[in-house]
């Protein structure tokens, strides 16, 4: 009798466990469906804004191409296939107001135990500012949902890079910088952050392959001048400060010459 009761109890426990597991799976499945449905809505709304614009916000296709491929001759960057988190961050940073000159910063308390610290995001070490003559004014007009939707749409697009021809010596020197860096000066290789083929890595390290050479040079110039200062831990600012004019042209030509296929997400 006791054994029968024990067996019955075990069966009940197993059944409860299976029921809880099944409920969890169904819940996760439901969340997944809701999440996917929300993403599809975001992509559709982002597509509409990208193609048609709205009010004072011009259509993105006017500068970034019909399929987000960018414009090589004008140096307008490609957005197709970029990480959505990266696009969101850049638009937010472009839309930030520049700090007023002469801001007085209070000294940090010597007793660090009494000073609250929140390291939820590495960008706490950076002002998170990115200034552009054209994009900053546009980004300021975008709502948070606009930014999310546009990022979702562009990240969903596939992309096939068309290598841009360049002088062999230029490509060779650019490749050396990309793959080796300048270890004698403490300059890391581009691939150490931007991935082996320049395809980028996550939301913090964007792709370089398939970007117009003029855009890459322009961004390095902005890092050097301080017009762009929204990188984690100031990594790119430190790298850019060590690049000569020839370095910039060579590495930009190398990445514009790379083949890359992005399937979209």
Check whether 110 has a pLDDT greater than 70: no
Has residue 19 been placed in a domain? no
Predicted confidence at residue 12, as pLDDT, reads 41
Has residue 6 been placed in a domain? no
Q: Are strands 129-130 and 261-262 parallel, antiparallel or unpaired?
A: unpaired
pTM to 2 decimals? 0.78
Chain segment 228-238, per-residue pLDDT in tens? 989 888 899 99
Selected residue with higher pLDDT from 33 and 134: 134
Predicted confidence at residue 19, as pLDDT, reads 44
Q: Report the C-alpha gap between 85 and 122 in whole angstroms.
A: 14
Predicted confidence at residue 100, as pLDDT, reads 61
What does the pLDDT average to over 152-178? 96
Predicted confidence at residue 122, as pLDDT, reads 44
Check whether 11 has a pLDDT greater than 60: no
Of 125-129, 162-166, 179-183, 246-250, which range is least confident? 125-129
Has residue 66 been placed in a domain? yes
CATH number at residue 249: 1.10.760.10
**Residue 113: which pLDDT band, with cuts at 50, 70 and 90?**
low
**Concatenated DSSP letters of 138-186:** HHTT--HHHHHHHHHHHHH--EE--PPP--HHHHHHHHHHHHT-BGGGT
Has residue 159 been placed in a domain? yes
Q: Are strands 228-229 and 129-130 parallel, antiparallel or unpaired?
A: antiparallel
Q: Which domain holds residue 228?
A: 35-257
Q: How many CA atoms lie within 13 A of 215 on its CB side?
A: 22
Check whether 10 has a pLDDT greater than 90: no
Q: What is the mean pLDDT of the chain?
A: 84
Has residue 65 been placed in a domain? yes
Check whether 28 has a pLDDT greater than 80: no
Query: Is residue 141 left, alpha or beta, with left meaning phi > 0 and alpha meaning psi from -120 to 50?
Result: alpha
How many domains are there within the chain? Answer: 1
Q: Report the C-alpha gap between 243 and 260 in whole angstroms.
A: 25
Has residue 264 been placed in a domain? no
Has residue 27 been placed in a domain? no
Predicted confidence at residue 128, as pLDDT, reads 77
Has residue 262 been placed in a domain? no
């Amino acid at each position: 009798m006791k054994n029968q009761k024990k067996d019955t109890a075990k069966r009940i426990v197993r059944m409860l466990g299976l029921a809880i597991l099944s409920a969890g799976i169904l819940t996760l499945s439901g969340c997944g469906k809701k999440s996917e449905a929300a993403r599809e809505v975001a992509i559709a709304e982002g597509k509409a804004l990208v193609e048609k614009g709205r009010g004072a916000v011009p259509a993105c296709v006017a500068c970034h191409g019909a399929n987000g491929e960018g414009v090589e001759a004008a140096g307008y960057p490609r957005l197709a296939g970029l990480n959505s988190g990266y696009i969101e961050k850049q638009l937010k940073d472009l839309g930030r107001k520049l700090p007023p000159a002469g801001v007085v910063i209070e000294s940090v308390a010597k007793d660090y135990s009494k000073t609250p610290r929140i390291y939820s995001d590495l960008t706490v070490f950076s002002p998170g500012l990115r200034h552009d003559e054209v994009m900053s004014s546009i980004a300021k007009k975008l709502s948070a949902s606009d930014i999310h939707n546009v990022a979702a749409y562009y990240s969903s697009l596939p992309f096939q890079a068309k290598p841009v021809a360049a002088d062999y010596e230029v490509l060779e020197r650019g490749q050396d910088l990309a793959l080796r860096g300048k270890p004698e000066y403490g300059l890391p290789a581009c691939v150490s952050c931007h991935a082996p083929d320049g395809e980028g890595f996550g939301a913090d390290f964007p792709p370089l392959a398939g970007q117009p050479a003029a855009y890459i040079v322009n961004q390095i110039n902005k890092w050097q001048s301080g017009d762009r200062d929204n990188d984690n831990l100031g990594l790119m600012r430190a790298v850019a400060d060590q690049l000569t004019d020839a370095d910039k042209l060579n590495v930009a030509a190398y990445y514009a010459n790379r083949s890359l296929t992005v399937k979209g997400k």
